[in-house]
Chains A and B, each alone.
Chain A
Amino acid sequence: MRLQQTDQEQAQEIQRLSHRSQQLAAILQVQQAISRQTNRADVLLSLGEAILVNLDMETIVLVEPGSHGPKMVYSLGTSPEEARLEALLGQRNPLIHCLQNAKQLVVPQLDVDPEWGNSPLLQALKAGAFLCLAVQSGQTTDLALMASRTKPLPPYAVENLDIYALLAHQVAIKLSSLVSAQETHLRLEEASLLLDFNRRLSSLEPAKILHTLLENAMQVAPGAQAGMVLLWNAGKNRLIPMAALGYANPQTLLDTAFQLEEEPFGRVFRSQEALNLDEVDFARHYNLSSENLLRYRQATAGKLPIAALATPIQFAAQDQPLGILILENFQTAAAFTDKAQLAETTLCQQTALHLENTRLYQAAEARASQMHALTQVAAAISSQLKPDELIATLLDQLHAIVPYETGTLWLLRGSKVVVRAARGFADEEERIGLTVGIEDSLLLSEMISESRPVCVGDIRKDPRFPSLLEPRYLSWVGIPLVSGGKVIGVIALEKSEADFYTPEHIQLATTFAGQAAVALANANLFQESLSRTGMLDQRTQRLELLNRLSTALSETLDADRILAIALHELAGAIPCSTVSAVLISPTGSAQILAQIPSRDSEVPLTLPEAPLFEHMAETLGIFISDEISREPALAPLQGYFASRGTRALLAIPLTTGSDLHGIILIQADQPQRFSPDEIGLARTISNQAAIAIQNARLYAETRDLSAILEQRVNERTAELAREHRRTETLLSILTELSASLDLEQVLNRTLALVQEVVAAGHISVFIVRPGEQKLHRLASVGYAPPAAAGGSPTPLDVDEGLAGWVITHQEAVLLDDIHTDPRWIFLVDAPEPHHRSAIAAPLILGQESLGALMLYHDQVGYFSYYHLDLVQAAANQIAVAINNAELYRLIREQANDLGAMARNQQIEASRSRAILEAVADGVVVTDASRKITLFNASAEKILGLKSSELIGQSLEHFSGLFGGAAHSWMETIRLWSQTPVIVESGDVYAEQIMLEDGRAVSVHLAPVTSGESFLGTVSVFRDITHQVEIDRLKEEFVATVSHELRTPMTSIKGYVELMLMGAAGSMSDQQTHFLKIIKENSDRLTVLVNDLLDISRIEAGRVTLSMQPLNLVEIARSAIDDLRRRSGEEQKPMTIEIEPAPDLPMALGDVERVRQVFENLLENAYNYTPAPGRIGVHIHQAGDQVQVDIRDNGIGIPPDTQPMVFERFYRGELPIVLAISGTGLGLSIVQHLVEMHHGHIWLESSGIPGEGSTFSFTLPVYDPNQATQ
């Protein structure tokens, strides 16, 4: 079964493959059939036939897409007779499907196909199977072919779909290549036509070119029955028919001209695009003028065009068409195909190109010949350098380029034009020189102002021309001659024909005019340069003269010589009879200094005053007179001028700046006008002379100045040399003085130096010794006897004689002769016979005169002020030297004293040390840096330390001994060393320390200061073990005793009071009295016990203070309140008042202890003030303390007992005091408490009863910034 099935499958497969190969072979046949065909129809036909035969089909239907569905191309093969295939194409069928979807379709068994089985076309064909091919070119489906047969195809025919698709594709390629081949063929034809056309055109004239165009155009467009070529005439503004063919009367058209408004010609010309009218609506498309319409109808013999093609004759680069080609058909609509239109366009473009080339060639040829003529003319005129000759030939030359009948050359002169040449006129010669105002001619003024040509085609129509009856010349052209941007003239040409001159003519004439203007300018320049050469020659001569003059003037600095040269040159250069130089003095008088011709005997000749001179001094200008006899300004000078025969005068000022120094008079013996050149020359020469004279003056001044300067330099040099010598001497003196402190030696050497320079006869130094009346002579040199060693007293008092005067007045003097000066005293016994002149200078140091330096000479007037200066300077140095020597002596003495003192101190120190070493107390001394310098034997013993180990160590080594107090101990030392100023004598730091072995040692540390410097400390150690033990026992005793006393006291006091309260029944007055006595005494005993305990504890240092800020006023008030209560109870009237100062600061203290102080003092005041008394409490600030004064008006304290008041148990001896109960411990306790607070307590009392006493104490002010102690 299985094998059977396989066999069957294989048979089917073989059948299928065989069918497929048959199909492939058949398709190959079809391909070969179509590939042999050369046109589309044949290809399609052979395709159909090949499919019929090779694919064993019965019917072929080939369609192409139409506007309303498929359109039948053909059908082949057999089909049922009744089948009307074309009618069925529009209904649903595979061909429509193929066209739309471009897909191949094969249906092998139509009877089972649900899609196509009921297609009317296939049913009409009775088809049992079909295949459908879509032939596609590019994106569109061009054809669809359906092949059918009545028998079905094998089912696997569907698999051949790809083969059919290949066939369809190959058909499409074949068709496409056929189209390409056809197009290429057409192009080739076109190209050969054009080539031929071009060939024919290239050798033709324009008229024939147009004719050829028309012929060819009609040949290319088969629909053309007639045609014409129109060209644009810009001058006439018309389209002119140039060639016409095919019309009944072509000449009629050739005589016509169309305006641009006339259609269709104008429209094509304007739009520059071809116009193909398929169906001409003559009335609309042919919009001709009535005249032209008539002509057109004549030309066509009444026929109207049905179709027309109008093409612009233009090539791409042209702005507007040259003309239009129009072809017409009088029978058929749409006679002109697109292809024809394209061909016409090409022909027209070629024609336009040819026409343009021809035109350009002709233009270039004309231009070249014109340029040739122009070049020749330009060469001819530019070689002419004589303006007149040039002008005469210009018009003739122009004739060779631009034709004219009359020509006129006008040249500009100011605001007029002058005729300089004329041609073609009968009266040519007369016209030359004719002048016309530019303003008078509209044409001339227009040309000249706008600098451009004016062309008038017909002067009869131009309003600028006068209307003549019969003007002979109608064309007129005027060309301006422009040179360097300016119009210099005009050429006017006339011609009898109207509109003769073309733009080319005008351009040529303009070019010629430009050339002519340049040639004219050149000729004029040449002429001018010729005339300038003459002037230049004259100038050269003048320059030569000036050069000569300038050279001559620069060679001399002599004013007279300068004048002579200037006059000479003037006489030579300017025609004149006399030249003279007049000097004008500052006062205005005039004097002739020199003249030519020379009359030396006459000069200098003073001239009378004349207005001329004033006038010239004011104006500094020249004065000219052609005839001097008419000049009033010269009236006073007429005599002088007459003597010289002068008739004309040129006066030139000689000035520098604004000053007139002189005048040059140039005189002529004829009435004469001096030319500007001569005046200019005369001025130049005169100015040169004036400058030279000024220079000469300046030179003379400079020479004088330099002589003076030289003299001053010499003087100053001498002065400096003297100054130098003096400075050197002083330097030597200074060196000597500072070389030694031995005054005598120094003085002798110094005086010798002074002597060397001054060469005085004798020199002495006198000094004032403090406390002595007589002057001392300390040193001397010279002819008088020398001073004794160490100086010797003179008989003169310190304020006597010349030296005394100098010392007193502190002023140096120079005496030429001492004999005539009252300050000099002649001493009877002194050998001073030689002194005649002297210098005395004080020796001054600061404000003090130390003495005098005296110099003498035996000549009268020997000394100069130069000597005086030197001596003064030397005296100043000597004063310093004397002072230095004195200072040196003082220092030496002080050094000796200090040495002695130091020795004494050393001895003293050794003694002190020995004492310190020997004392029983331990002594430790430190220096300022707290290094131990002394540690005595007792200290070693007390502290159990070795001195040798401690000397040189810091005191800080001991801080361990002080335990908790170490900090405050070190702080105290630091404070002393840093601020020794605050250390007061008696400042001591005391501390009690316990040693490890149980011994107690007291330490007193005191600073050692000297002035404000801290030198170190001294500590004294004492072993107080025994004393401490005693104190302890004492305190214990007191505590025990007081307790033991208080116990019985409690019973006594308690029971007595109970009895007094009546607890034991009523008592008699006597009993009550006795009981009160017991009570008071027991109270007293209680107070005594308390006070004793207090004082013993205070003295033992057992009381510690709890320091805090205190309001003393509050405490005082509280204590006062208690006292007032007591006063009330005891019926002892007492006024108690408190007066606190304002802004009182807080105090620092222990509130209970301070209260105790207040109570105690107030109680004392109360007790010892009889009623009615007064107690005042005054609290105020005193520096950094608050002070409390408690004042009473009680019995007072006698001054002699006041020192004992604060002692324990002291109560005085007054009965009145002793009568009041008290322990005598209160004030002692109070004193202790105040001092524990770092305060003070004291009292003031006169001792007179009733004046009372004042107890004052102070407490420190509370400072919140300081830690509480």
Chain B
Amino acid sequence: MAKILIAEDERDIRDLITFTLRFAGHEVVATSNGEEAYGAAQKILPDLILLDVRMPRMTGYETCEKLKSSEPTQHIPVVFLSAKGQESEVQTGIRSGALEYIVKPFAPDQLTERVHAILGTLGIK
């Protein structure tokens, strides 16, 4: 079981992700923008962070860059979940320090599968 932090401004989707991951047995901390997500990450030091790209207050890219430049959080893997699926957008996400870029829409089991795969490589079950 892992501690996963998510940031998603769209409430339905935030709930969907939270539900799906909790359903899969993980502890989920949900935030609705980048700023919140950064603060929470500093506090709880999650195992994995899932970020939306287009969010108010602070975009996913900015949040990722900030997390990667902060000592306590820089080692935490970040995965983007975004409806922006153009190649340039994916590249921007990866450059900002993310491990993966999942394009919306996604199937819940598909998300679970990806998250397990990433946690597996980190040695967290």
Q: Which residues of A contact B (CB under 8 A)?
A: 1039, 1042-1044, 1046-1047, 1049-1055, 1057-1058, 1061, 1063, 1082, 1086, 1090, 1093, 1097, 1103
Contacts and interface: CB of A to CB of B under 8 A. Distances in A.
Contacts of A1061: 23, 108-109
A862 B104 CA distance: 118
B83 A1057 contact: no
7 interchain residue pairs of minimum CB distance: A1046-B83, A1050-B105, A1050-B104, A1054-B16, A1049-B105, A1051-B12, A1053-B105
Contact of A1054 (B13, B84, B85): B13
A1039 B83 CA distance: 10
A1046 B104 contact: yes
A492 to B, nearest CB: 151
Nearest to A1045: B83
A1034 to B, nearest CB: 15
B14 to A, nearest CB: 10
A1039 B104 CA distance: 14
B83 A1047 contact: yes
Q: Chain B contact residues (Cβ within 8 angstroms of A): what range?
A: 20 to 34
7 contacts: A1043-B54, A1043-B84, A1050-B83, A1054-B106, A1058-B23, A1061-B108, A1082-B105
A1090 B104 CA distance: 11
A1152 to B, nearest CB: 9
Nearest to A1104: B87
Contact of A1043 (B23, B83, B108, B109): B83
Contacts of B85: 1042, 1046, 1090, 1093
Contacts of A1050: 13, 16, 83, 104-106
Contacts of B104: 1046-1047, 1049-1050
Contacts of A1054: 13, 16, 20, 105-108
Contacts of A1063: 19, 23, 108
Given A1053-B106, A1103-B87, 8 more contacts: A1046-B83, A1046-B104, A1047-B13, A1050-B105, A1053-B107, A1054-B105, A1055-B16, A1057-B107
Interface in B59-95: 83-87
A1050 B110 CA distance: 12
A1047 B8 CA distance: 11
Contacts of A1053: 105-107
B10 interface: yes
B16 A1039 contact: no
Contacts of A1047: 10, 13, 83, 104
Contacts of A1082: 105
A1042 B19 CA distance: 25
Nearest to B103: A1046
A207 B106 CA distance: 172
A476 B113 CA distance: 161
Contacts of B12: 1051, 1055
A903 to B, nearest CB: 60
Contacts of A1086: 105
A43 to B, nearest CB: 138
Contacts of B109: 1057, 1061
Contacts of A1043: 54, 83-84
A1058 B20 contact: yes
B16 A1058 contact: yes
Nearest to B11: A1051
B10 to A, nearest CB: 6
From A1047, A1082, A1086, residue with most partner B Cβ within 10 Å: A1047
B36 to A, nearest CB: 20
Nearest to B54: A1043
Contacts of A1044: 83
A1110 B116 CA distance: 32
A330 B104 CA distance: 170
Contacts of A1049: 104-105
Among A1042, A1046, A1097, the most chain B Cβ lie within 10 Å of the Cβ of A1046
A1058 B109 CA distance: 8
A1039 B87 CA distance: 12
B62 to A, nearest CB: 18
Nearest to A1090: B85
B107 A1097 contact: no
A1125 to B, nearest CB: 15
B86 A1039 contact: yes
A1057 B108 contact: yes
A1061 B24 CA distance: 12
Contacts of A1093: 85-86
Contacts of B108: 1054, 1057-1058, 1061, 1063
Nearest to B53: A1043
A1086 B103 CA distance: 11
Contacts of A1057: 107-109
B118 to A, nearest CB: 19
